[in-house]
């Protein structure tokens, strides 16, 4: 079981969505929500869900983050997800959980990010710029506001007649799909030993090609995001020198958007409901129970469990269907005999 903490400062609809997503599985659990202001919506939501909420005043976040870090350590928190958290995170957090702190931002970063770009301001700016697309971004948190490496993005259309409120709603829906997946992916990466060549390629923002035998380095390597222009990062400790690294050095044109590794198995929920109503009730209900578990298992990271639930749902739908057809076939001759 991996325990995660959510930091929030507002309504907490993302926090609620994340808690619900991981509620049923046994791989990931929201251990606590930590907040930096009082009387905010997230408190009531978490009370309802039975998730502990810890409050620390903003001065503590700014000047004495050690006690918050200690609390998180005591609870063995593996990953921190910022969801509408408005304080600037102290560097000590970033050093203590490297590549284990995520943030969600309501635009397609790097556009419409940075200081002042939060809440309605973002959507107003997107509309003022006449963009056809907006969306949500989950990125790693580093020392630059909204500047960390992008983990995943989800696009939404900007529709004619959109107001900041309608656009915000649509982006929020995208966030509910995106954030749990990004958390699963970030935890998966924590568990997967990083190939040093890949890490090096990511740092230099070039494509990694395991098949390439001869390295062709870019003439002028792209500066790493958030580092001073022109500064070339040193190779990571223990990694081969750039000249020896087997990779193909095509410069990347945009930030990497990482898809989820595997598609969610079909839940067959509609078929479960139909067979329950039209065929045989009890096996139909069993099918519904399995169908309902598919997405929660999948988003909790239990991919095998989700596949099993999907297969079981399928089997019980077939059973329900067969019993239904059998009963209907027997019903007519039996009625005649009677």
Q: Name the segment binding ligand GRF (CB under 6 A); options: 7-15, 210-218, 256-264, 306-314.
A: 7-15
Residue nearest ligand GRF (C-beta atom): 84
Q: Name the segment binding ligand GRF (CB under 6 A); options: 11-19, 46-54, 158-166, 180-188.
A: 11-19
Q: Name the segment binding ligand GRF (CB under 6 A); options: 100-108, 146-154, 248-256, 307-315.
A: 100-108
Active site residue 105: yes
Reading the block at residue 137, the tokens are 């971004």
Q: Radius of gyration (Cα) for the chain, nearest Å?
A: 24
Helices (H) and strands (E) in the chain, counts: 11, 7
CA atoms lying within 13 Å on the CB side of residue 10: 11
Residue 43-82 contact track with ligand GRF, rule CB under 6 A, x = bound = ----------------------------------------
What length is written for the chain? 338
Q: Contact 311/286 with Cβ under 8 angstroms?
A: no
Helices 269-278 & 281-299, crossing angle to 10 degrees? 170
Q: Contact 313/272 with Cβ under 8 angstroms?
A: yes
Among 19, 30, 104, 303, binds ligand GRF (CB under 6 A): 104
Give the SS3 label for residue 60: helix
Smaller CB distance to ligand GRF: residue 12 or 25?
Answer: 12
Q: Which helix (H) or strand (E) holds 2?
A: strand 2-8
Q: Name the segment binding ligand GRF (CB under 6 A); options: 98-106, 139-147, 269-277, 282-290.
A: 98-106
Smaller CB distance to ligand GRF: residue 65 or 106?
Answer: 106
Contacting ligand GRF within 119-178 (CB under 6 A)? 172, 175
Among 65, 84, 242, 301, binds ligand GRF (CB under 6 A): 84
User: If we measure between CA atoms, which residue out of 187, 262, 258 comes closest to residue 30?
Assistant: 187
Smaller CB distance to ligand GRF: residue 139 or 293?
Answer: 139
User: What is the layout of strands, in order, in the sheet containing 53-55?
Assistant: 53-55, 28-35, 2-8, 77-82, 101-105, 133-140, 150-157
Q: Contact 31/3 with Cβ under 8 angstroms?
A: yes
In whole angstroms, the minimum distance from the beta carbon of 175 to ligand GRF comes to: 6
For ligand GRF (CB under 6 A), the number of binding residues is 13
Distance in angstroms (rounded) separating the CA atoms of residues 326 and 324 = 5
Q: Which one of the listed residues 23, 75, 105, 123 is annotated catalytic?
A: 105
Smaller CB distance to ligand GRF: residue 138 or 309?
Answer: 138
Does residue 110 have a cis bond before it (omega within 30 degrees)? yes
Q: Is 14 in the site for ligand GRF (CB under 6 A)?
A: yes
Binding residues for ligand GRF (CB under 6 A)? 10-15, 83-84, 104-106, 172, 175
Cite the active site residues: 105
């Amino acid at each position: 079981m991996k325990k995660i903490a959510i930091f929030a400062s507002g309504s907490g609809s993302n926090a609620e969505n994340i808690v619900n997503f991981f509620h049923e599985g046994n791989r990931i659990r929201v251990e606590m929500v930590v907040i930096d202001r009082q009387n905010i919506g997230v408190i009531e939501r978490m009370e309802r869900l039975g998730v502990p909420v810890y409050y620390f005043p903003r001065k503590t976040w700014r000047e004495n983050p050690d006690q918050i870090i200690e609390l998180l350590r005591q609870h063995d928190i593996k990953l921190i997800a910022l969801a509408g958290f408005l304080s600037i995170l102290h560097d000590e957090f970033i050093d203590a959980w490297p590549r284990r702190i995520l943030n969600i931002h309501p635009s397609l970063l790097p556009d419409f990010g940075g200081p002042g770009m939060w809440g309605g301001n973002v959507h107003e700016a997107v509309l003022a710029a006449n963009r056809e697309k907006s969306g949500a971004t989950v990125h790693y948190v580093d020392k630059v506001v909204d500047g960390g490496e992008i983990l995943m993005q989800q696009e939404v259309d900007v529709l004619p007649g959109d107001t900041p409120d309608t656009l915000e709603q649509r982006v929020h829906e995208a966030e509910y799909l995106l954030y749990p997946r990004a958390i699963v992916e970030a935890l998966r990466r924590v568990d997967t030993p990083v190939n040093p060549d890949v890490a090096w390629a990511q740092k230099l923002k070039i494509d990694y090609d395991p098949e390439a035998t001869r390295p062709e380095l870019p003439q002028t390597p792209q500066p790493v995001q958030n580092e001073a222009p022109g500064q070339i990062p040193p190779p990571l400790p223990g990694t081969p020198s750039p000249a020896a690294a087997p990779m193909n050095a095509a410069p990347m044109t945009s930030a990497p958007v990482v898809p989820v590794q595997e598609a969610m198995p079909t839940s067959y929920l509609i078929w479960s409901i139909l067979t329950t109503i039209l065929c045989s009730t009890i096996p139909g209900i069993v099918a519904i129970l399995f169908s309902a578990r598919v997405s929660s298992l999948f988003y909790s990271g239990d991919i095998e469990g989700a596949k099993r639930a999907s297969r079981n749902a399928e089997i019980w739908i077939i059973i329900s269907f067969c019993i239904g057809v059998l009963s209907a076939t027997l019903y007519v001759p039996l009625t005649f005999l009677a």
